[in-house]
């Protein structure tokens, strides 16, 4: 289907050909907001590479430059983009991405904790600083 949409994405190292390729091949404009100050590793389907040198801080640019955010399965960086989008009143479409699974994985790594009381918070903090 031909379109005049613009695809913006901050992933690199070729992991998002699935988003850039159809956009470019069907008449859209593809913009890659890249984490580094060079285009190495960018998808060849990116027409406009934006070199930020900002690492993960570029997520804010990615979200605020979008009218709609489509989130594909990812990790904490993708979750941060979803949160920024919701905070900025941007609609978010989760494509094959059950965010609960990502949080469940984090709970298993002892990087995310779920507690119910202030006392449990204190106990967990003490545990973390042993």
Indicate which CATH number applies to the domain containing 73. 3.40.50.450
Token code pair at residue 82: 């979803």
Same domain (yes/no): 72, 107: no
Q: Answer yes or no: is 87 within a domain.
A: yes
Contact call for residues 39 and 33 (beta carbons, < 8 A)? no
User: What's residue 6's pLDDT?
Assistant: 61
User: What's residue 14's pLDDT?
Assistant: 44
User: What's residue 81's pLDDT?
Assistant: 92
Contact call for residues 95 and 70 (beta carbons, < 8 A)? yes
CA distance readout (Å), 87 to 64, 102, 117: 10, 20, 26
Q: How many CB atoms lie within 10 A of CB 65?
A: 14
Range of the domain at 109: 99-130
Distance CA 85, CA 125 (A): 30
User: What's residue 11's pLDDT?
Assistant: 53
User: What's residue 82's pLDDT?
Assistant: 93
Q: Answer yes or no: is 1 within a domain.
A: no
Q: Along the 130 residues of the chain, how does pLDDT read in single tens digits?
A: 455 556 666 554 445 556 677 667 777 788 888 888 988 878 888 888 899 999 889 999 989 988 888 888 888 888 999 999 999 999 998 988 888 888 888 888 888 999 999 999 999 999 999 9
User: What's residue 74's pLDDT?
Assistant: 82
User: What pTM was computed for the model?
Assistant: 0.77
Same domain (yes/no): 106, 92: no
Which element (helix H / strand E) includes 34? strand 29-34
User: What's residue 62's pLDDT?
Assistant: 87
Count of structural domains, the chain: 2
Look-up of token digits 């690199």 = 12
Same domain (yes/no): 84, 27: yes
């Amino acid at each position: 289907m031909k379109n005049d949409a613009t695809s913006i994405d901050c992933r690199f190292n070729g992991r998002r050909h699935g988003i850039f390729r159809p956009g470019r091949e069907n008449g859209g404009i593809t913009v890659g907001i890249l984490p580094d100050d060079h285009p190495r590793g960018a998808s060849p389907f990116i027409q406009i590479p934006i070199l930020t040198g900002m690492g993960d801080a570029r997520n804010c640019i990615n979200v605020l430059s979008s009218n709609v955010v489509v989130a594909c399965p990812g990790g904490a960086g993708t979750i941060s983009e979803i949160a920024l989008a919701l905070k900025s009143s941007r609609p978010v479409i989760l494509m094959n991405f059950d965010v609960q699974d990502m949080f469940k994985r984090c709970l298993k790594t002892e990087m995310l904790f779920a507690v119910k009381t202030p006392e449990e918070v204190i106990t967990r903090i003490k545990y973390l600083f042993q």
